[in-house]
Chains A and B, each alone.
Chain A
């Protein structure tokens, strides 16, 4: 573990999301639906020097492993990120994110005239493009502001 990473305290059990693109840490928290009111123990490093990314963010969440939906959406805003599962202070699993072909039920279409935003029994569905996402219903392409579309369920 490098000196820089030591700035953020070690966790006992939980998830370390490393190599987040610089400045995206708060969006990562939004995806995890963490705003502090739930009492989660969270450490954040922002714009930490990184060999790979120049500057990176890092988020450590105590007592929580991520769902596949969360991992899918993370991959859209932090494609370089790595996920480290920590148990009893040891990293027991470490993997890079993989961008899914599509994400279902986690983003809300920004097109207010899209059928998926109506009260219909369907989940939102977005195809993942190299540089954004595209609604499978109305075909709207979103490149910036993807975190703003995350369903606050």
Chain B
């Protein structure tokens, strides 16, 4: 890959994406061949907001490559609590590690950090901004199940604040994908994402009801509508209820529809979907480790 930092999915070309996914497939096929590939490499984990799974999957990935992590620990116990700027923190910690993973509540935090550090930086989520490593594992899962060309995908739920959605939508513009966005009016895609999709010439439609497009879809990507987005509990329940799927809903779908979710889910996908052939979200979650191994392998190169 040409880039040292992975800040946004927008910087990924089709070739970049295919390089990562192909490497992930190699790792999946023969994990033993990669076991000590990066012995001694240290990955710095900077999680300014808690995310157990994302953090564990990076940790698993570097350890399976023979490396280890240095972990900033929780923000409460660090100097950040004493008011140190992020720019200062990362400039110190970059000296401890061969690559950094950053999770931060503020939008643009990864972009700024990238301006200060020389070691490769991976954005593991910055506020409502981007989450490109999630996107790579999503794309890996889509490629395995439905293929990435001539793809009709529905992306449903909270499209306004959902960073995984924003990153995925950007990345899909590299492929021959028809994107259908399904959400309540108040949680539509933000203006900036629509702008980029338009600039990229993407095939995009927006809907408020799933049934309008369900039967056309190869993939349905569901995200959670968060209660805290609504001032009123009743309003939340009324809206969230319309964007839930269960086995009955999916009776109208293609037999080979792939249903995905970045997890954790609450009740937007009913448990009875788990037993259908559509359910792909646990497989998707498992793909996080080989895909992050592939990414780290490419970023660390022969340096370690």
Which A residues contact B (CB, under 8 angstroms)?
111, 113-116, 118-122, 129, 134-141
Contacts and interface: CB of A to CB of B under 8 A. Distances in A.
B111 interface: yes
B106 A113 contact: yes
B116 to A, nearest CB: 9
B85 interface: yes
Nearest to A137: B108
A135 B107 CA distance: 11
Given A137-B107, A139-B107, 7 more contacts: A115-B106, A116-B108, A119-B85, A121-B87, A122-B87, A139-B192, A141-B191
Interface string B87-100: 10000000000000
A139 B86 contact: no
A120 B107 contact: no
B270 to A, nearest CB: 32
Contact of A121 (B85, B111, B191): B85
B35 to A, nearest CB: 38
B192 A140 contact: yes
B112 A137 contact: yes
B23 to A, nearest CB: 29
A114 B106 contact: yes
A66 to B, nearest CB: 29
17 contacts: A118-B86, A119-B85, A120-B85, A120-B112, A121-B85, A121-B87, A122-B112, A129-B195, A134-B192, A135-B108, A136-B108, A137-B108, A138-B129, A139-B108, A139-B192, A141-B191, A141-B192
A56 B111 CA distance: 40
A120 B87 contact: yes
Interface residues of B, number: 19
Contacts of A138: 107-108, 127, 129
B291 to A, nearest CB: 24
A140 B115 CA distance: 19
Given A120-B86, A137-B111, A113 B192 contact: no
Contacts of B85: 118-121
Nearest to A119: B85
A64 B107 CA distance: 38
A136 B107 contact: no
A140 B107 CA distance: 10
Nearest to B129: A138
A121 B85 CA distance: 8
Interface in B57-109: 85-87, 104-109
Contacts of A116: 108, 112
B128 interface: yes
A146 B192 CA distance: 16
A129 B87 CA distance: 28
A115 B192 contact: no
Given A120-B86, A120-B112, A122-B115, A114 B107 contact: yes
Contact of B107 (A111, A121, A122, A141): A111
Contacts of B109: 115
B107 A113 contact: yes
Nearest to B108: A137
B80 to A, nearest CB: 12
B105 A113 contact: yes
B290 to A, nearest CB: 30
A138 B92 CA distance: 24
Contacts of A119: 85
Contacts of B107: 111, 113-115, 137-140
Contacts of B111: 115, 136-137
A112 to B, nearest CB: 10
A113 B112 CA distance: 14
Contacts of A139: 107-108, 129, 192
The 10 closest A-B pairs by CB, nearest first: A137-B108, A138-B107, A115-B108, A115-B106, A138-B108, A139-B192, A115-B109, A141-B192, A141-B191, A115-B112
A113 B127 contact: yes
Contacts of A121: 85, 87
A67 B112 CA distance: 27
A19 B20 CA distance: 53
Contact of B106 (A118, A135, A140): A118
